[in-house]
Chain A
């Protein structure tokens, strides 16, 4: 548990260093995630070490959004001024993106003959 946490933090730390040193647009944790995917593909031992801790963290992922979410109290004026713009933008863009993504996936899968397993 401590070992797994230390390794997860180390990948984040490495990601932050690379992101800042290379002036990359990717946030450090995303680079850390990419690095860990590679490392997990190579090492079965690492997979067994990390998995229980990672699953524990991911099962409570929603909790971690709460502190930032409460920040809404500091943005009431913006929300009052742009409430309609944001509401229309969020609803239309989210639904449109789902439809475009699902239709594209279905068409391309048919085109290249990629079938679902089930």
Chain B
């Protein structure tokens, strides 16, 4: 074997290479995102995923061996979910003042997201595993991945569907709600956080501060509600 081949076979068996590649790919994605003026279509995660998928394809690396390295980043999803307690607690006062609309809109928005997604996929003939994968897609990724796992779905596919959901919400929310003439920033932000989690929340903060604060409340509450709702609604389609 040549030196280069020896070095490659060493690196391919260690987590360092793909951990490093994951961080650099995200850095590249984030740079493009900021240069574009934070446009929703230039989502840094999507860019990083495409870069890494191409790299895995070119080097003939299995996802399994990629994940050996990337698992250290993946692990932080759990602690990050716990960290959502900080913005949620900081906004408790605003939640209390709008408690009734928040509870009703949360139930309506969350149920609509899960039920309509499953009804459409079911009508197209999706199987049980795919429905379980799809059900939690409006919840924030760390939670959605956990729910998908417990329902017997494919967590990695759920992660992709969660990202796409956030991007769809972020791209269409402003023109759509403007067209409907809805002017309450609390309502606009909250609904976006419930339906399109963190990516929608980031978009809401760009448009209006109140919308952003209510979007993070919506995202946090929907993370909890989806964990209850997704198994119940899924059972309706089995």
Contact = CB atoms under 8 A, between A and B. Distances in A.
Interface of A: 5, 8-9, 11-12, 15, 25-30, 32-37, 40-41, 47, 50-51, 53-55, 57-58, 61-75, 78-79, 82, 84-86, 88-106, 108-109, 112, 114, 116-118
Contacts of A103: 180, 182, 187
B102 to A, nearest CB: 7
What secondary structure prevails in chain A residues at the interface with B?
helix
Contact of A72 (B49, B126, B146, B188): B49
B76 A66 contact: no
Contacts of B161: 86, 90
Contacts of B116: 89, 92-93, 96-97
A9 B82 CA distance: 8
Name the 4 nearest CB pairs between A and B, nearest first.
Answer: A71-B156, A101-B109, A101-B191, A85-B124
B169 A94 contact: yes
B117 interface: yes
Contacts of A91: 168
Contact of A71 (B63, B125, B218, B227): B63
B44 to A, nearest CB: 6
B40 interface: no
B82 A105 contact: no
A11 B120 contact: no
Contacts of B110: 97
Interface string B124-141: 111000100010011001
A105 B114 CA distance: 18
Residue from B52, B105, B126, B180 with most neighbouring chain A CB atoms (10 Å): B105
15 contacts: A26-B224, A30-B81, A37-B88, A40-B89, A65-B162, A70-B66, A70-B70, A93-B112, A98-B173, A101-B191, A102-B188, A105-B101, A114-B100, A116-B186, A118-B185
Nearest to A29: B81
Nearest to A71: B156
Contacts of B157: 71-72, 75, 78-79
A19 B207 CA distance: 37
Interface string B196-235: 1011100000000010000000101001100110010000
